[in-house]
Amino acid sequence: MDSSKYNLSAQELQTLSSKAISAKAAAYCPYSKFRVGACILTQSGEYVIGANVENASYPVGTCAERVAFATAIVSGHHDFKAIAVASDTKPPASPCGMCRQFLNEFTTPAFPVYMYDSEGNYQVKTMQELLPDSFGPEDFAGERA
Ligand code: THU
């Protein structure tokens, strides 16, 4: 696997985590009161944040991870090094099923997802671990009926 492109320096991980944790403050979550912050590090060394944005019509709300990735994509980024997700829970929140599929579109199986808990401790998992046997853009390359 192409895992070396996903090696973060200690400084990168420190910056990524602190931006994800501080992004929780930007959450709009009057319904769940469950704050989630996210931050993506691009391969070009930029950081893109997101937070969950809820809606009075509950299913319309969006998770922090999708806000961060959509922002990164429309900002012109297409090559990513890592994402950190921070919540106020212990153990930390991990991306929901919809977010795993959304991230799969823009990542590879070795892409790391760092999950931070309320005390700043993290667990890290790859996309392969979070979404095995995924369906993605490459599945459109084959022959279709
Ligand atoms: N949420 C996220 O933003 N990311 C996650 O990884 C888990 C859940 C949000 C969705 C909703 O606004 C709130 O947390 C409660 O589910």
Residue ranges of alpha helices (H) inside 39-136 are: 64-74, 97-104, 127-130
Return per-residue pLDDT of the chain as tens, 145 residues: 567 999 999 999 999 999 999 999 999 999 999 999 999 999 999 999 999 999 999 999 999 999 999 999 999 999 999 999 999 999 999 999 999 999 999 999 999 999 999 999 999 999 999 999 999 999 987 776 6
Is 105 marked active-site?
Answer: no
Distance, in Å, from the CA atom of 20 to the CA atom of 37, rounded to the nearest integer, reads 5
Expressed in angstroms and rounded, the spacing between residue 54 Cα and the centre of ligand 1 is 9
* Residue ranges of the binding site for Zn(2+): 63, 96, 99
Token couple for 97:
């099923």
Domains of the chain (ranges, CATH numbers): 3-140 (3.40.140.10)
List of residues 6+ apart from 102 with CB closer than 8 A: 65, 66, 69
Going by CA atoms, what residue is nearest to atom 3 of ligand 1? 63
Indicate the top mutation candidate among 35, 52, 122 to test ligand 1's pocket, ranked by most ligand atoms within 8 A of CB: 52
- Strand 112-116 and strand 80-87: the pairing is parallel
Do the Cβ atoms of 48 and 16 come closer than 8 Å? no
Question: How many CB atoms within 10 Å of residue 42?
Answer: 17
Token couple for 58:
């509950």
Ligand 1 contact via 54 beta carbon (within 6 Å): yes
**The model's pTM:** 0.95
Question: Which residue type does 87 have?
Answer: S
